[in-house]
Structure 1
Amino acid sequence: MTGRDRPVAAVEGLTVEIGGRAVVDGVDLRLLPGRITALVGGSGSGKTTTGLALLGEYPAGARVTGTVRAPEGLIGYVPQHPATVLNPVRRVGALLMDIARQRVRHLPRARRAAAARERVLDALDRARLPAAGPLLRRYPHQLSGGQQQRVVLAQVLLLGARAVVADEPTTGQDPLTKRGIVDLLAAVARQGIAVLLLSHDVDVVRALADDVVVLRDGRMTGAPWTSPLPVETRAGEGGGDPGGTVLEARSLTARHARTPVLDRVSLTVRTGECLAVMGRSGSGKTTLARCLSGLHADHDGEVLLDGAPLPRGLRDRDRRQLAGVQYVFQDAKASFDAYRPVLDQIARTAVRLRGADPGAARSEALTVLDTLGLPAARVARPPARLSGGELQRAALARALLARPRVLVCDEVASGLDPLTRSSVLGQLTGLVRTGRIPALVLITHDLDTAALADRIAVMEHGEVVEARATADLLGSPRHPFSRQLVAAAHSLRGEREGALPGGGSAVS
């Protein structure tokens, strides 16, 4: 067996049981030097539990059987939210130097400082981060999500990791950032490091993976794991003509402290219409959504619902206004009370905003949840007992119980597997077409998600640089930034066509 055929890490017959239920059941996995293995499957399939097992981490109270061979100190982890593992009060340069100093303690004292700096520079180069400029003087919160990921990866490389577990590294990223992450992980593999990619992203898996392991209900399976969004669900290709304006923003200017975020943004959403708002991280998309829904009161300009101005903040809106514009958060887990059953929290929306009878509200909640694929037994649990995809659908059901005039969805599909994403987005656009909600605003980084809309508004640096019918914008984008977004998405999609790179295969 050659060095490149000898696994850096492996799991054999891994079974993880929680409360008598196997969340991972008999999984085998081998990570080879210089190869990228993708672990894919629906929400709750056991991907993250398997990946974390390589790091020696398991859910509380879990019963674990099988074998995990992962030499201590040789497995690095790049989480979906990298800021959670970065010290917020240490500058980036100091974070890296702290690790480098530990790695050179065996050297004579006179050589340690120079050797530590050399290691930091090497890690920065391998993680594609600039050694010059302001980046090393910044704190983690002053970096973009993509920069934070690279800093975490630089830390992993400084520690001498021979394998890296990358957990949903492209979730919620725009096409340009996603393209950069794909190139970065490919470069890491070329350095002889094994990569385990945990991902829902079809394009990224096809572009990167040498091998694909598919999980369903904790077990390895040969079942298909990809599914394109069906053409018939695309709102921009078949709905009726939009009617009058439901929601309008006029010259919105918003700030975070003293930093301007929105610059005179104006847009309209009409009856029967789905509007997608696209742009890179930091472009102002989420701030715009929060202004529309009353979650960000520090703004100038007007937001009108059915022609009537809305108060800027939630506290100043009455029940009808609160119900009229409902917001579905990207981080669904953080939007639920950790100690109350999910069903109770969903039903409470109808009671609080519509004055519904508690029994009727509970019955309505169960009906809506059933249409979204969530059985009563699942939502009777606290949020921690549901997967990320299940919580996202629960958050959607909670918003629907308010019977909103406009539903604002912030990256609601970014953490979902392809099949669930297709189902949820199809249901959302169907709600508009059938008139159950008059209008829908989709905040998204994803071109496939935006393609479902009737119109797309592209944001850059706090401005709407282009807003046109979906087919027109995607077919012939006018603004240079719109052209970059579309080109980057097409680049990844082009790599998805055909066989897996490197002669790889799907593993069942």
Structure 2
Amino acid sequence: MRAETPPLVEIRALRVEIDGRAIVDGVDVQVLPGKVTALVGASGSGKTTTGLAMLDEYPPGAQVTGEVRRTGDGPVGYVPQHPAAVLNPARRVGALLHDIARRQVRHLPRAERRTAGRALVLRALSDAQLPDAEALLRRHPHQLSGGQQQRVVLAQALLLGARVIVADEPTTGQDALTKSRVVEQLAAVAARGIAIVLLSHDLDVVRALADEVLVLRAGRVVESGPVERLWRAPRHEWTRRLLDEQRAVRRGGVAVTAGSGQPILEIRDLTAVHDRRILVLRAPHLALHPGECLAVVGRSGSGKTTLARCLAGLHRDHDGEILLDGAPLPRSLRHRSRAQLAAVQYVFQDARAAFDEHRPVLDQVARTAVRLRGADERAATDEASATLDRLGLPADLARRRPGGLSGGELQRAALARALLARPRVLICDEVTSGLDTVTRRGILDVLKGLTGECEDLSLVLITHDLDTARLAHRIAVLDAGELVEQGPARRILTEPRHPFTISLMETTELLEAGSGR
């Protein structure tokens, strides 16, 4: 059935081939003013390729057939899954946004441009759910959390006057409170007549925000329809499986208590700063025991990633002690021994930025075993291949360069690379945030199995997702850079004590209920 309102973007029979393999095959999409169209599916299903086609952007060497038609004024804005890739690291956020604003107000008298431009910037930051604008405008992109970077890119799109915004995983790496505000704001943007194309693995967000849903698998649309119909009565087996796996994670329960005695990793009086003066983290004491899984939760920008980077030796501007088996760890990884580097491994939230784009993924994963364990190159390659396959990345994908893999596939490759060091502490920074429900369940099962099989391996899960936090034995809660609560996971999830934790749990329950718009 054709829509009565003319679409702002219409895709007909889109087919995108790379080296003879169709990554999008026969996709039809209509993007209507003021509506939210969601594309869901597994990593590599063709969501991002379809979204980028609306901007006439395709992978290098792609053969494209079909039609993409755009009507109306204004550009198509794009908020990528990995926003750091489109933000200039050498320029402050204020400079990036004011450059765009100046172009929007150049028709005004010169005396009015500065004030009008600043008002536009502050409005865009507010619309993108970025409070404390004055402090944020002075920061460089690397001083922001992944969620904050994403919202800065959204502010750029709003400043440009986009009539269609393609949002690629806009709530990835964000806590329930921020996620709820992003849902509200995108709904408000749509209410102004702007079309939203939502590419997402987060089914709670899709249900709360979308009008229409297209389910993709292996480049094809296997089911589409109004969001509530799909949730009540999914017709395709793959749609049912996506929904069933989400429910299964929540039924999985909370891990029982593990780990006691001497901590493998311990924090004492840790404080961390940015720019040598801005306090961003304060954690008086935190301990991780052998075989234990610790989840660190909190809103975007609360200090979760800063804590993880301190542990891994990637953030040197901190005071206090970080102890491994009771011995102090050097602040910088450059001063850590090979054994210390292998012992504490970090899996980045932005997996694409962590890989060399010019070398095959398999070679980069295997290199970890060669460099940190002294393994033979052939043995390292065999071990890397087996580990990648276990994480759902078969040999044909592993032999590609990073550009040939989706964000979710690269996250799995990054996890495999860290595991080849045979670490004692594995720090996972939002490792499931870019994955569909089926793949996420598989990764969580792998992580749970690792702690069960290896008594000496401990996990630190940096996550906004309380479903992921259920895997943990203990949970630490950060708010505005302060460690506000910690304790057994069961107690934190069922009987939170701090006001922020209580608010986080309540908002999560509302999102899971999925009211729709």
TM-score tier by shorter-chain length is: 0.7 to 0.9
Pick closer, same or farther for the CA change 1:234–1:355 going to 2, 3 Å: farther
Alignment correspondent of 1:77: 78
The equivalent of 1:464 in structure 2 is 483
Aligned residues: 494
> C-alpha displacement at 1:231, in angstroms?
5.0
How far residue 319 of structure 1 moved from its aligned partner, in angstroms, is: 2.1
- Cα pair 2:82 2:350 within 8 Å, conserved: no
1:152-187, Cα deviation, whole Å (9 max, x unpaired): 545544544332211211111111111111000111
Alignment match, 2:216 = 215
What do the CA deviations read for 1:45-80 (whole angstroms, capped 9, x no partner)?
A: 111111111111111211110011113634332333
Between stretches 431-440 and 89-98, larger displacement belongs to: 89-98
**Deviation of the 1:315 alpha carbon:** 2.5
Closer/same/farther in 2, CA of residues 111 and 136 from structure 1, 3 Å limit: farther
Confirm or deny: 8 A CA contact 1:235 1:453 kept in the other structure.
Answer: no
Between the aligned partners of 2:389 and 2:3, the Cα distance in structure 1 is 51
TM-fit CA distance, 1:301: 2.1
Q: Which residue of 2 aligns with 1:195?
A: 196
The answer to which of 53-62 and 242-251 deviates more is 242-251
Corresponding residue of 1:253? 271
Equivalent-residue separation in structure 1 for 2:60 and 2:497 (angstroms): 52
| 1:269 to partner: Cα distance | 0.9
Are the counterparts in 2 of residues 458 and 482 from structure 1 also a CA contact under 8 Å? yes
TM-score (normalised: structure 1): 0.87
* Separation (CA, whole Å) in 2 of partners of 1:125 and 1:285: 22
Q: Cα 1:383–1:492, aligned 2, differ >3 Å: closer, same or farther?
A: same
Contact 2:38 2:198 in 1 (8 A): yes
1:267 positional shift: 0.8
Alignment correspondent of 1:392:
411
Report what 2:185 is aligned to. Answer: 184
Percent of paired sites with the same residue: 57
Alpha-carbon distance between aligned partners in 2 of 1:213 and 1:469, rounded to the nearest angstrom: 39
Q: Is the 8 A contact 2:33 2:190 kept in 1?
A: yes
Deviation, structure 1 residue 458: 0.4
Superposed CA RMSD: 3.2
Question: Given the alignment, which residue of 339, 351, 354 partners 2:370?
Answer: 351
SS at match of 1:236: coil
8 Å contact kept, 1:175–1:488 = yes
Distance 1:14 1:35 in 2: 21
Change (3 A) 1:192 1:140: farther
- For 1:327 and 1:133, the matched residues in 2 are separated by 30
SS across alignment from 2:208: helix
Q: Secondary structure at the match of 2:265?
A: strand
* Partner SS, residue 27 of structure 1: strand
CA gap of 1:407–1:479, structure 2 versus 1, over 3 A, is: same
Residue from 304, 315, 331 that aligns with 1:285: 304
Look up the equivalent residue of 2:447 and give its one-letter code: L
Which residue number corresponds to residue 341 of structure 1?
A: 360
Structure 1 counterpart SS, 2:383: helix
Aligned to 1:99: 103
* Structure 2 Cα separation of the partners of residues 447 and 277 of structure 1: 10
TM-score, length basis structure 2: 0.86
Superposition deviation, residue 431 in structure 1: 0.5
In 2, Cα distance between equivalents of 1:127 and 1:27: 32
| CA deviation after TM superposition for structure 1 residue 479, in Å | 0.8
Task: Report the AA paired with residue 336 of structure 2.
Answer: R
Structure 2: runs of 5+ lacking an equivalent? 224-237
- CA change 1:6–1:123 in 2 (3 A) is farther
C-alpha displacement of 1:262: 2.6
Distance in 1 (CA, whole Å) between partners of 2:10 and 2:498 is: 48
Does 2:248 match 1:230?
yes
**Cα distance between partner residues in 1 of 2:375 and 2:159:** 58
| In structure 2, distance between residues paired with 1:297 and 1:139 | 18
- Which stretch shows the higher mean deviation, 117-126 or 420-429? 117-126
Structure 1 gaps, min length 5: 503-508
